[in-house]
Chain A
Amino acid sequence: EAQVTQNPRYLITVTGKKLTVTCSQNMNHEYMSWYRQDPGLGLRQIYYSMNVEVTDKGDVPEGYKVSRKEKRNFPLILESPSPNQTSLYFCASSLWTGQPQHFGDGTRLSIL
């Protein structure tokens, strides 16, 4: 079954404590991306990757890092989380560059 697996689904943590949200896809897609969803703003792109070792900033990259060491995995790293990063996060992958097709189930992140 085609799948994007994102973990964890929920996380409550404190300011400054490094965290990683994992994302893995089993469709051999080259394009992967991360979004955050906030009420009234829709989804905003954080980072994207067009292939292994190729990543680039989206519209709201501040405070986030990513890596793409393998095609299937695209983790999102918050080195020093702050309360304004409290949000719902989605990872997505696609056959087509820039057109998210398959999404993970989302990660609800709360930073106190």
Chain B
Amino acid sequence: AQTVTQSQPEMSVQEAETVTLSCTYDTSESDYYLFWYKQPPSRQMILVIRQEAYKQQNATENRFSVNFQKAAKSFSLKISDSQLGDAAMYFCAYRGETSYDKVIFGPGTSLSVIP
């Protein structure tokens, strides 16, 4: 069964600095999708970034980028120029090609931004 691990329950970053959130996953599939979701204190879930495993190029969305290491089964999220509004819970998620009808979430990392 696929699993998603986020080994950092909490992290903090100074405003304007860069922070990297870690995510590893376990799968035997070769094709799959990976996601990062953001949940601010308002508790709204927001899709931040999406990566297809067959694409070697790392996905980027403005200040958010990923470092996708397929062989290592690692999918970290880098937030550049951190802003106070980036303070949130971040969830890594996986969707396999075989189990295409469901997504598996990690336990989350709580990010604090220090002014």
Query: Could you give, for residues 51-71 of chain A, a 1 whenever the CB lies within 8 Å of some chain B CB and a 0 otherwise?
Result: 000001011000000000000
Q: How far is the CA of A58 from the CA of B102 in the complex (A)?
A: 7
A residues in contact with B33, CB < 8 Å = 99
- In the complex the two chains form, is B107's CB within 8 Å of A97's CB? no
Q: Is B35 in the interface zone, CB < 8 Å from A?
A: yes
User: Which residues does chain B contribute within 8 Å of A21, judged by CB atoms?
Assistant: none
**Residues of chain A lying within 8 A (CB to CB) of residue B102:** 33, 45, 48, 58-59, 98
What is the CA–CA distance of A9 and B99 in the complex, to the nearest angstrom?
31
* Chain B neighbourhood of A90, CB < 8 A: 45
Q: Is B25 an interface residue (CB 8 A)?
A: no
Chain B residues near A88: list those with CB within 8 A: 43
- Residue of B44, B46, B91, B95 near A43 (CB, 8 A) is B91
A42, B106: Cβ atoms closer than 8 Å: yes
Mask: chain A, 86-98; 1 = CB below 8 Å from B; 0 = not: 0010101000011
Q: Is B50 an interface residue (CB 8 A)?
A: yes
Minimum Cβ distance to chain B for residue A37 (Å): 8
- Pair A97/B101 contact, Cβ less than 8 Å: yes
